Amino acid sequence: MATTNLSYYDKATIPNAKPFRFGIVVSEWNPEITKKLHKGAINTLIDCGASNENIVSWDVPGSFELIFGCKKMIQTQKVDAIIAIGNVIQGETKHFDFVCDGVTQGIVDLNIKYDVPIIFCVLTDNTKQQSIDRSGGKLGNKGIECAVAAVKMAFINTKNSQSNSVGF
């Protein structure tokens, strides 16, 4: 479990996001959490050089629907990376386990099937306070961290595509 703010990043170590187009798929469930993650991701992408025009955001009803939303975004939008944003908080039933497992495996499957990196920005916390702490609270904003990961993965994907096309 994180015990310090992990949202600090050094722009000098991150590729410029200007040439890339980013997708963000956001769960509407627990909006007081997911909207903060979304805002952190957008602000970071822009800070790293992305333009507003190159950021596409879609809402889906819940975290389980992130999988389908990401798949449709890959199929219909030309994006270099997608950030899947959601929040699942432990309750009294096994629903938490099923949703968390399904979303995790679904995003893994999409990363294997498609040539677009999908960044997992789904908070899976035991309490609402833990989610608050990780969406702009004392432990930072996971949306920021995931935006940095999206920029790095878009760059790696583009770099490897270019290298492969020239025979490296």
Q: So which residues are the catalytic ones? A: 95
* Nearest to 96, CA basis, from 131, 133, 69: 131
Q: What is the dihedral of CA 87, 15, 166, 81, to 10 degrees?
A: 20
Residues 93-112, buried b or exposed e (16+ Cβ, 10 A)?
eeebeebbeebeebbeebbe
Angle at 84 between CA 110 and CA 47, to 5 degrees: 125
